[in-house]
Amino acid sequence: MALLDKALVVFSGGQDSTTCLHWALKQFKEIRALSFDYNQRHKIELEAARTICQNLKIPHHILDFSLFSQIGGNALTDTMPIEGTQKSLPNTFVPGRNLMFLTAAAAYAYSYGINHLVTGVCQTDFSGYPDCRDDTIKALQVAINLGMDSQFVIHTPLMWLNKAESVKLALEVGAMDSLAYSHTCYEGVFPPCGVCPACILRSKGFSEAGILDPLQKRVSLCV
Ligand SMILES: [Zn+2]
């Protein structure tokens, strides 16, 4: 299959976007990665993003998005304890985050003549976040293309995969070495806390896929 031209990967340094980065390496001739600094509790993920891109020799840029911490009101940019509820959205939901990230990514890509955007959002295991849904992303693609008079395609390779399937995809696209350096824990610590919702979801995915998380191997070498 002929490779597509250029793509920009929205890259947090987490498990899903690391898988997407490797997926994109298989699909496109040239890729760049873009991360966002929004004073997130787990800012350590930006170090992970930097390390992974350096290892893969992928051009990487971090955009300042501190406006989210000025808005506040959620557990990722404030100091409140992380809570999930059965009835409503967990307080780790940062309203507008993916909408603004993808719009900023499109603006950035526009300046590099890039038409393809790749993001690791997922509807199947989406933690209740409405901006990870397929309908949201499709509507946003339309809005961005109208607003920028452009022809962006937003690729979402993980959209319909559960966590175990996305671990299998990571293996298939050769992402395991990079995943050893990825960051998932909401508490922003290394070794990961193991008990926050993000840690639990990650560990469930690897155990259901029957694959040892390379991050855990790195932890065992470090402690
Ligand atoms: Zn954790």
In angstroms, how far is CA 175 from the centroid of its own chain?
A: 14
* Contact (Cβ atoms closer than 8 angstroms) between residue 121 and residue 156: yes
Closest among 18, 50, 22, 25 to 37, alpha carbons compared: 50
pLDDT at 67: 82
Check whether 94 has a pLDDT greater than 80.
no
In one letter, which amino acid is 40? Answer: Q
Residue 72's pLDDT is what?
Answer: 67
pLDDT at 29: 96
Instruction: Using CB atoms within 10 Å of the CB of residue 185, give its burial: 0 to 12 exposed, 13 to 18 middle, 19+ buried.
Output: buried
In the prediction, which pLDDT does 120 show?
95
Which tokens is 98 given? 């993916």
Distance 22 CA to ligand 1 centre (A): 24
Over 80: is that where the pLDDT of 12 sits?
A: yes
Q: What's the gap in Å between 79 CA and the centre of ligand 1?
A: 15
CA–CA distances in Å: residue 71 to residues 2, 76, 126 = 44, 12, 23
Q: What confidence tier does 73 reach under pLDDT thresholds 50, 70, 90?
A: low
Write down the mean pLDDT value for the chain.
90
Sheet architecture: strand order including 60-64: 60-64, 28-37, 4-10, 116-118, 153-155
Tell how far the Cα of 219 is from the centroid of ligand 1, in angstroms.
13
Distance of CA 181 from the midpoint of ligand 1 (Å): 15
- Residue 187 has a pLDDT of 87
Q: Which CATH architecture has domain 4-222?
A: 3-Layer(aba) Sandwich (3.40)
Q: Tell me the CA–centroid distance for residue 14 and ligand 1, in Å.
A: 12
The DSSP annotation for 107-175 comes to: HHHHHTT--EEE----STT-TT-GGGSHHHHHHHHHHHHHHHT---EEE-TTTT--HHHHHHHHHHTT-
- Judge whether residue 68 has pLDDT over 80: no
Q: Which of 12-16, 120-124, 138-142 has the lowest mean pLDDT?
A: 120-124
Question: 78 alpha carbon to ligand 1 midpoint, in Å?
Answer: 16
Q: What percent of the chain has pLDDT over 90?
A: 68
Cα-to-centroid distance, 205 and ligand 1 (Å): 14
pLDDT tops 70 at residue 87? no
Distance 186 CA to ligand 1 centre (A): 5
Determine the Cα–Cα distance for residues 96 and 84; give it in Å rounded to an integer. 19
What's the gap in Å between 196 CA and the centre of ligand 1?
A: 4
Number of helices followed by number of strands (H, E) in the chain: 9, 5
Average pLDDT rounded to a whole number, residues 89-101 = 81
